[in-house]
Amino acid sequence: MKHPIAEMPNGTLIYVDLVHSPAALHIAAQPRLVGLVKEALKNSSLKTPMVYLEKDMGRDIGYDFVVEAAVSDSIFYAQLLRKNQYTRFVKNKKALPTSYLTIILQRDDEGSYALHDTWIGRLSPPLPGATDETPGSKLYWDNHALIFDKQPLQSRTITRVCPY
């Protein structure tokens, strides 16, 4: 289901698939993300097929749940429900207030942009093992983790041994 978000000054449509996109999960948990994305894109110029945007909104907009985590922290790895790659989690850390919004857009065949993903917080590389993994993914996720906050996990995948 394509839900329109905004129309750029040049007529380019920005939309989100509220069923199948990674952004759908984040929007379902935080519906106000749609308004934040619209605000962040107001004066943006989109030219490339993939757009990775980290926007400082100039005010605190929520909490960043990706934090620096050392080996001495309470770390574990697991696959989230319906995910194939492992996420590094940390327990007993607090989310930090942030003014940053991350937006990932992908141009479709008609020239419109689909909101692939969005979240409150800084732009981070894909997880190791993801199809879009980058050369910096492993190094970044060796030093950062997602704060565990009762996310639905595949219990058979929980481990303290790094799987990548």
What would the pLDDT profile of 126-158 be if each residue is shown by its tens digit? 999 999 899 999 999 999 999 999 899 999 999
38-49 average pLDDT score: 90
Question: Quick one: pLDDT band at residue 11, thresholds 50, 70, 90?
Answer: confident
Question: Quick one: pLDDT band at residue 44, thresholds 50, 70, 90?
Answer: confident
Residue 67 confidence (pLDDT) above 90? yes
Look at residue 75 in the predicted model and tell me its pLDDT.
97
Look at residue 127 in the predicted model and tell me its pLDDT.
95
Residues in the chain: 164
**3-state SS, residue 146:** strand
Question: What share of the chain in percent tops pLDDT 70?
Answer: 100
Report residue 19: phi and psi, to 5°: -115, -50
**Domain parsing of the chain, residue ranges:** 2-157
Residue 1 confidence (pLDDT) above 80? no
Task: Find where tokens 């106000």 sit.
Answer: 32
Q: Is the pTM of this model over 0.95?
A: no
Report how far residue 27's alpha carbon sits from residue 25's, in angstroms, rounded to the nearest whole number. Answer: 6
Region of poorest pLDDT, from 19-23, 35-39, 61-65, 121-125: 19-23
Q: In this predicted model, what pLDDT tens digit does every residue of 45-56 receive, in sequence order?
A: 898 999 999 999
